[in-house]
Chain A
Amino acid sequence: MSLLDLSRWQFAITVMFHMTFPAITVGLSIFLSVVYGLYWRTGRAVYLQMFRFWRRIFAVGFAIGVVAGAVITFQMGLNWGVYGAKTGPIIGPIIGMEVVTAFFVEAGFIGVLLYGDGRVRRGTMFVSTVMVSVGTVLSSTWIIAANSWMQTPAGFKVVHGQFEPTDWMRVIFNPSFIWRWPHMLAAVLISASFFVAGISAWYLVKGRAKGFARRSMSIALGIAALLMPVQLYLGDSVAGHELPRQLSKLEAIEGNWDNGDTGFVLFSVSDQQAARNIAELDIPCLGSYIAKDLTCKTAMPGLKLTPAAERPDMAATFWGFRVMFLAAVLMFGTAFAATVLRMRNRLWTARRFHRFVLWTTPVGILAILGGWVTAEAGRQPWIVFGQLRTSAAVSRLAPGEVLFSVIGFSVLYLIMLVAYVVYIVRTMRIGPERDDPGRQPPPGNLPDTGAAKDGVPRELPVPLGSRKVAAR
């Protein structure tokens, strides 16, 4: 494996691990704002219970997302130093804006969101929660602007090999950003919805905390039902607006080497060297239908149109897209079924549906990861499409150094992922019952070490070192 391959694997591992967490927490932070707002307005205990329970899941996921995200910023210099030096004048300021308008906003208010419950006024609590979600949304905005510029660079000139901005409006609102941004935003909202719905479904299957579970699932599946059709439209628009500028990506997504296929390749095993598919399963005419031609005459372009040295890896691009697309179809179907059940007033009695929804918990996250694989693998061999090759952008490090970091990050991330899943399962088992404000014992007689008393797991009574801000 070459230095380039190692650095690419390292980036793929770190960025996919990172993305798993925003896929949960961006939507969850908005969900938390909504339920706390409902609690503030209605005063109903179930909303506070929802807020407290989902906050536990959010807190650790947010922390992992933050530390894993920090890694990526530095990787741009560590492993991709040439990229860092050449694109710094354009990508650097965009990420800088992300830091000051998003990271610091999140960091400033996350403390109150996590530890302020009962210490600060409800209004302060609500505003802090909203600010955190504003931060997460702004963060995804800037990061999509930066990545979209790498897909469809605009508003720049190249001076001595370095990219210089000539028009910031065109840099930020580059051609693919306009569509990829709402597409990504809808994606994180949907993935969080399925995450929330899945965990809620577990309580319905178990017959526990029904009021809490029904309300959580109702909101989550409601949002999914509203957003899924929008998302299918947005996804189609991204394809329509970005792919004409990245034909090589489109060809790899479609999975054909030669022109002329009017079908849709559902499954294929491709041989990149020989430029052919060893095996494939083709649905006739579907490709043409997707391209909005019902006469079955519109054919898909093949990857051989692109010179061999500029072809992306077909398998990664093809399968990334299939994972995203099939997951989207599954989610659309689930949201549709939920709406039908709801209209028939059977949503809370359909036991088999609850069991099914439980299994869809990670589907949204998988769809997002698949989408990113399509976007990034499909852009290859370019790091800035058509301008800078990935092979020219990598730092000239000793392979041993990179191997050390690849192994280190992989091991650490695996441990963190397992720890988070274990934490979620534990939190689910303990359940939202302890978060019911009506059932909480008074804080005075609780041990401060947080140890279990009477076998009931519990948390610290009050956040240490906090002061009643409301009193000031």
Chain B
Amino acid sequence: MTTTLWSATVLVCLLMYVVLDGYDLGVGVATLFERDPAHRRHMLESVAVGWDGNETWLILLGVALWAGFPLAFGTLLPHAYLPMTVLLFSLIVRGVSVEMASQAPPAPRWTAAFGVASLLASFAQGFTLGTLTSAVHLRGDVYTGSAFGAFSWFCVLSGLAVTAAYTALGYAYTKHKSSGLLRESAARRGAIATAVAGVLLVIVLVTVDTTAAPLNLDSPGRAFAFAVLLLFAAGGAATSLVTFPWKRQSGAADTLPLGGLVIATVSVFLALGVARYPVLVPPGLTVDGAVGPHPTMVFILVGIGLNMPLVLAYNVFAHRAFAGKLDAAGVHS
């Protein structure tokens, strides 16, 4: 029971992270395609107020894994050592450059660093997720793999898919937060990014069965849930594709692309979760095999679990305090 509850908590952290930091990193990637310095600046400022909170979900995800499934934490991370290290490098550069550019404008070089680091971070994240499909070498409970043992073409594919999906989320967020020319270009490019992400994701789903961690859809319940979630994902993506190009200023035109993509992202991750549960460390280590001792599980379910509503409330507060659009002059409306 505690194991299931905590698995759900870890999943919530993962979903919160990919959605929140997804748009955040995506806006960063999108700045690379933007020529107008004022537009780049607006995009940077739109994430400057929230990146810290968004990134904290990654830390909570890591710590939730550490506290609840220590064996998985201690073996998956060495397994993905190089992409994780690149991810940490990029997150450092990104966090510092966003604050530097925001505190001492115009700072074109920091803004450029922000874009490049966002791209690297997105790719490294997708790559890291890809390493979860290759077998982790263990002797006893200790990781014994080699430096590049986790790498495969699937990791590259997964890196590209995640980057495209984050970029689409970033454009949706930019359209939501902007007006005028920036909004138009975000809408155009957002539709393209969504289409690319969709195609890459289909390839990922088709090819994942050739990896060391194929999808487990043996029971009818799993297969049904998986199919329904993928339908949701397709619906969300289609909604975004249709609504991205909507030009007229309206609530729907600005929120539906973002909403559709959020639903699509969450559904895809849930579907993969359904098809993988309960394996944590491929090929054979399950949540039950990696779970921490009972007193730990009780402590984290009470201490961290009960804090989750508060944590969500802080997130809502932070996003609402800076709700609304930035207009062409950069002043809130």
Give the interface of A toward B (CB within 8 A).
56, 59-60, 62-64, 66-68, 70-71, 73-74, 76-79, 81-93, 95-97, 99-101, 103-112, 114-116, 120, 159, 161-162, 164-166, 168, 395-398, 400-401, 404-405, 408-409, 412, 416, 419, 423, 426-427, 448-451, 459-469
Closest chain B residue, CB of each to CB of A116: B321
Closest chain B residue, CB of each to CB of A405: B85
Closest chain A residue, CB of each to CB of B98: A63
A67 touching B68 by the CB < 8 A rule?
A: no
Query: B147 in the interface, Cβ–Cβ < 8 Å?
Result: yes
Within 8 A of A (CB), among B292-333: 292-293, 295-296, 299-300, 303-304, 307-308, 310-311, 313-315, 317-318, 320-326, 329-332
Output the residue of A84, A164, A459 with the most chain B CB within 10 A.
A84
**A-contact bits for B132-172, CB 8 A (1 contact / 0 none):** 00000000011110110000000000000000000000000
B residues less than 8 Å from A426 (CB atoms): 104
Taking a contact as CB atoms closer than 8 A, the residue among B45, B68, B76, B304 that contacts A100 in the complex is B304
B60 touching A416 by the CB < 8 A rule?
A: no
In the bound complex, what is the Cα–Cα distance between A166 and B299 (angstroms)? 11
B100 touching A423 by the CB < 8 A rule?
A: yes
Output the residue of B41, B60, B103 with the most chain A CB within 10 A.
B103
Closest chain A residue, CB of each to CB of B293: A164
Pairs A–B under 8 Å by Cβ, sample size 12? A63-B52, A77-B66, A81-B77, A96-B304, A100-B303, A104-B60, A161-B141, A395-B77, A401-B82, A463-B49, A464-B41, A466-B324
- Top 3 nearest A-B pairs (CB, nearest first) are A88-B70, A108-B314, A92-B67
In the bound complex, what is the Cα–Cα distance between A97 and B59 (angstroms)? 12
B103 touching A401 by the CB < 8 A rule?
A: no
B56 touching A103 by the CB < 8 A rule?
A: yes
A60 touching B99 by the CB < 8 A rule?
A: yes
Question: Given that A73-B59, A401-B147 are contacting pairs, would A465 and B141 also be in contact in the complex, using a CB cutoff of 8 Å?
Answer: no
A111 touching B92 by the CB < 8 A rule?
A: no
Question: Given that A89-B293, A396-B142 are contacting pairs, would A67 and B96 also be in contact in the complex, using a CB cutoff of 8 Å?
Answer: yes
Taking a contact as CB atoms closer than 8 A, the residue among B48, B78, B105, B311 that contacts A450 in the complex is B105
B38 touching A449 by the CB < 8 A rule?
A: yes
- A95-B63, A464-B326, A467-B322 are known contacts; what are 12 more A-B pairs with Cβ within 8 Å? A70-B58, A74-B84, A81-B74, A81-B142, A85-B75, A88-B69, A96-B304, A100-B310, A116-B321, A465-B46, A465-B325, A466-B322
Question: Given that A85-B70, A467-B324 are contacting pairs, would A78 and B85 also be in contact in the complex, using a CB cutoff of 8 Å?
Answer: yes
A74 touching B77 by the CB < 8 A rule?
A: yes
Query: B223 in the interface, Cβ–Cβ < 8 Å?
Result: no
Query: B271 in the interface, Cβ–Cβ < 8 Å?
Result: no
In the bound complex, what is the Cα–Cα distance between A423 and B110 (angstroms)? 12
CB distance from B35 to the nearest CB of A (A): 14
Closest chain A residue, CB of each to CB of B76: A77
Taking a contact as CB atoms closer than 8 A, the residue among B56, B60, B332 that contacts A96 in the complex is B60
Within 8 A of A (CB), among B40-99: 41-42, 45-46, 48-50, 52-53, 55-56, 58-60, 62-64, 66-71, 73-78, 81-82, 84-85, 88-89, 91-96, 98-99
Query: B106 in the interface, Cβ–Cβ < 8 Å?
Result: yes
Output the residue of B56, B64, B326 with the most chain A CB within 10 A.
B56
A residues less than 8 Å from B296 (CB atoms): 88-90, 92-93, 164-165
Taking a contact as CB atoms closer than 8 A, the residue among B48, B59, B70, B76 that contacts A70 in the complex is B59
In the bound complex, what is the Cα–Cα distance between A120 and B52 (angstroms)? 20
Output the residue of B93, B295, B310 with the most chain A CB within 10 A.
B295
In the bound complex, what is the Cα–Cα distance between A120 and B320 (angstroms)? 12
Query: B177 in the interface, Cβ–Cβ < 8 Å?
Result: yes
Question: Given that A64-B96, A107-B318 are contacting pairs, would A412 and B89 also be in contact in the complex, using a CB cutoff of 8 Å?
Answer: yes
Closest chain A residue, CB of each to CB of B13: A99
A78 touching B78 by the CB < 8 A rule?
A: yes
Closest chain B residue, CB of each to CB of A124: B321
In the bound complex, what is the Cα–Cα distance between A97 and B296 (angstroms)? 12
Query: B180 in the interface, Cβ–Cβ < 8 Å?
Result: no
Give the interface of B toward A (CB within 8 A).
37-38, 41-42, 45-46, 48-50, 52-53, 55-56, 58-60, 62-64, 66-71, 73-78, 81-82, 84-85, 88-89, 91-96, 98-100, 102-106, 141-144, 146-147, 177, 292-293, 295-296, 299-300, 303-304, 307-308, 310-311, 313-315, 317-318, 320-326, 329-332
A residues less than 8 Å from B325 (CB atoms): 465
B303 touching A97 by the CB < 8 A rule?
A: yes
In the bound complex, what is the Cα–Cα distance between A446 and B84 (angstroms)? 42
B residues less than 8 Å from A109 (CB atoms): 314, 317-318
CB distance from B141 to the nearest CB of A (A): 6
B99 touching A412 by the CB < 8 A rule?
A: no
A466 touching B293 by the CB < 8 A rule?
A: no
B99 touching A107 by the CB < 8 A rule?
A: no
A449 touching B41 by the CB < 8 A rule?
A: yes
A448 touching B329 by the CB < 8 A rule?
A: yes
Closest chain A residue, CB of each to CB of B296: A89
B88 touching A70 by the CB < 8 A rule?
A: yes
B64 touching A96 by the CB < 8 A rule?
A: yes
In the bound complex, what is the Cα–Cα distance between A405 and B63 (angstroms)? 21
B318 touching A401 by the CB < 8 A rule?
A: no
Closest chain A residue, CB of each to CB of B333: A467
B73 touching A77 by the CB < 8 A rule?
A: yes
Closest chain A residue, CB of each to CB of B110: A419
CB distance from A19 to the nearest CB of B (A): 15
Taking a contact as CB atoms closer than 8 A, the residue among A63, A73, A84 that contacts B74 in the complex is A84
B299 touching A168 by the CB < 8 A rule?
A: yes
B299 touching A401 by the CB < 8 A rule?
A: no
CB distance from A45 to the nearest CB of B (A): 22
CB distance from B97 to the nearest CB of A (A): 9
Taking a contact as CB atoms closer than 8 A, the residue among B143, B314, B322, B331 that contacts A395 in the complex is B143
A84 touching B52 by the CB < 8 A rule?
A: no
A108 touching B315 by the CB < 8 A rule?
A: yes
Closest chain B residue, CB of each to CB of A74: B62
A59 touching B59 by the CB < 8 A rule?
A: no
A residues less than 8 Å from B293 (CB atoms): 89, 159, 162, 164-165
B63 touching A459 by the CB < 8 A rule?
A: no
In the bound complex, what is the Cα–Cα distance between A91 and B30 (angstroms)? 38
Taking a contact as CB atoms closer than 8 A, the residue among B50, B81, B311 that contacts A104 in the complex is B311
